[in-house]
């Protein structure tokens, strides 16, 4: 059995050492010493001015929308995980979908201006699979129309563009540290706001809005994370170089083995390196994808249609909107197995099946 993903688990004794610390401090949650240490280490590792460690990537998005006081319409991508859209609706705003670019699979910056109305207050874009959006174009549009920008950088741990962290773009960036992510703390999320005042506001929001012993500065939520989660984050951070290296080697192998096939791959941002968070391939037709998916299933290989279906058509709480490129890509994209424990030999097996599938499709259509 080859699953599509498998969480990285560090040597158990390394986690146990942190559990011993928790037992002696007696501090289980509420911004304890391990959460503070994790924030400090991640700030240095990611080269950002400051960050907050929170419950998960979804709460991070909701807190971002709340902190920026967004109302009305938020322009967003239909090609993302459901949390990108649901957080907009959860915060009482209206998502307005703009189609994606067929190469990068990120929101098409060239189509954003046409979607702006007098109700638009922000752009919420996802760096899909960790591939940076056209941050310069989005920034210019936001400035011109006085809009806020939030980046859902759930997939983009460790990504840099134009010489700095991807998390430094936009008013706020959020990241997910969920167990299936490249770097994780079981559950967890990050919020990065460059502006010190906004950062402080988010800090209050994370802790019920509490600003002093019997004082409240903001409408807040419980966005804190526990010491047990922080401990996993700290242990895993010691392994991040090895995790990245292994995943990049697997991606290189996939690239080598699949280059002769007709499978399409997302085109990566010219100024950025792939962080090897996912390995998506795009088939020529949905039929070819379904055929491959079935063959993988028969061979006990996990794959995931990620993202499928388009968020502009899938959600029962929104009127469906057709989006030409998203509809087409989401029907044809499949993520292949990629995780630290995956062996190069497994990549050979996965690619062998894909190539066979390709041949069947070619014969069928000739």
Ligand X SMILES: Cc1ncc(COP(=O)(O)O)c(C=O)c1O
Distance CA 53, CA 65 (A): 17
Measured in whole angstroms, the distance separating CA 202 from the mean position of its chain's CA atoms is 20
80 lines the binding site for ligand X (CB under 6 A): yes
Specify the 3-state DSSP secondary structure of 54: strand
- CB of 294 closer than 8 Å to CB of 288: no
Minimum CB separation of residue 36 from ligand X in Å reads 21
Distance CA 309, CA 215 (A): 45
83 lines the binding site for ligand X (CB under 6 A): yes
C-beta neighbour count of 271 within 10 angstroms: 12
Nearer to ligand X, 161 or 258 (CB): 161
- Choosing from 8, 18, 53, 81, the residue that interacts with ligand X (CB under 6 A) is 81
Nearer to ligand X, 258 or 323 (CB): 323
77 lines the binding site for ligand X (CB under 6 A): no
Largest CA distance in the chain: 75
Stretch that binds ligand X, among 76-84, 101-109, 161-169, 242-250 (CB under 6 A): 76-84
| Positions 40 through 59 that interact with ligand X (CB under 6 A) | 56-58
Residue with tokens 């088939």: 283
Nearer to ligand X, 35 or 84 (CB): 84
Cis peptide upstream of residue 307 (ω within 30 degrees of 0): yes
Nearer to ligand X, 58 or 131 (CB): 58
Nearer to ligand X, 81 or 353 (CB): 81
| Positions 132 through 191 that interact with ligand X (CB under 6 A) | 152, 154-155, 176, 178, 189
**Count of residues of this chain found to bind ligand X when the rule CB under 6 A is applied:** 14
Nearer to ligand X, 157 or 288 (CB): 157
| Degrees to nearest 5, angle at CA 147 with 136 and 87 | 100
To which H or E segment does residue 151 belong? strand 148-152
Measured in degrees and rounded to the nearest 5, phi and psi for residue 92 equal: 80, 15
Q: x/- contact string, 88-127, with ligand X (CB under 6 A)?
A: --------------------------------------x-
The residue of the chain with the least Cβ separation from ligand X equals 57
Distance CA 92, CA 279 (A): 34
Minimum CB separation of residue 137 from ligand X in Å reads 20
Minimum CB separation of residue 159 from ligand X in Å reads 13
Measured in degrees and rounded to the nearest 5, phi and psi for residue 18 equal: -70, -35
Nearer to ligand X, 153 or 325 (CB): 153
Cβ neighbours of residue 102 under 8 Å, at least 6 residues apart?
Answer: 325, 328, 329
Residues that bind ligand X (CB under 6 A): 56-58, 80-81, 83-84, 126, 152, 154-155, 176, 178, 189
């Amino acid at each position: 059995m080859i699953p599509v993903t498998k969480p990285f688990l560090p040597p158990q004794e390394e986690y146990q050492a942190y559990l011993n610390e928790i037992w002696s401090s007696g501090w289980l949650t509420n911004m304890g010493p391990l959460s503070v240490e994790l924030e400090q280490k991640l700030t240095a590792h990611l080269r950002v001015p400051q960050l907050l460690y929170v419950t998960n990537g979804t709460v991070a998005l909701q807190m971002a929308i709340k902190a920026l006081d967004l109302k009305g319409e938020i322009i967003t991508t239909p090609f993302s995980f459901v949390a990108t859209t649901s957080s907009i609706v959860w915060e009482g705003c209206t998502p307005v979908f703009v189609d994606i670019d067929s190469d990068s699979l990120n929101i098409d910056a060239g189509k954003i201006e046409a979607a702006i109305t007098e109700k638009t207050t922000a752009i919420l874009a996802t760096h899909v699979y960790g591939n940076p959006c056209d941050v310069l174009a989005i920034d210019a549009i936001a400035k011109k129309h006085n809009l806020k920008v939030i980046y859902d950088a759930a997939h983009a741990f460790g990504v840099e563009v134009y010489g700095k962290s991807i998390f430094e773009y936009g008013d706020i960036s959020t990241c997910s540290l969920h167990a299936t992510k490249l770097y994780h703390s079981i559950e967890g999320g990050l919020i990065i706001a460059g502006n010190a005042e906004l950062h402080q506001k988010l800090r209050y929001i994370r802790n019920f809005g509490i600003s002093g012993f019997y004082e409240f500065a903001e409408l807040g939520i419980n966005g804190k994370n526990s010491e047990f989660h922080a401990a996993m984050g700290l242990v895993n951070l010691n392994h991040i170089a090895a995790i990245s290296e292994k995943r990049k080697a697997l991606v290189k192998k996939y690239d080598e083995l699949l280059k002769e096939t007709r499978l399409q791959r997302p085109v990566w941002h010219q100024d950025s390196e792939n962080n090897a968070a996912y390995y998506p391939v795009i088939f020529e037709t949905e039929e070819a994808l379904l055929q491959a998916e079935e063959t993988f299933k028969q061979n006990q290989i996990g794959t995931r249609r990620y993202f499928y279906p388009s968020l502009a058509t899938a959600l029962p709480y929104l009127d469906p909107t057709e989006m030409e490129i998203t509809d087409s890509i989401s029907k044809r994209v499949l993520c292949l197995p990629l995780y630290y424990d995956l062996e190069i030999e497994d990549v050979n097996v996965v690619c062998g099946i894909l190539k066979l599938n390709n041949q069947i499709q070619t014969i069928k259509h000739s």
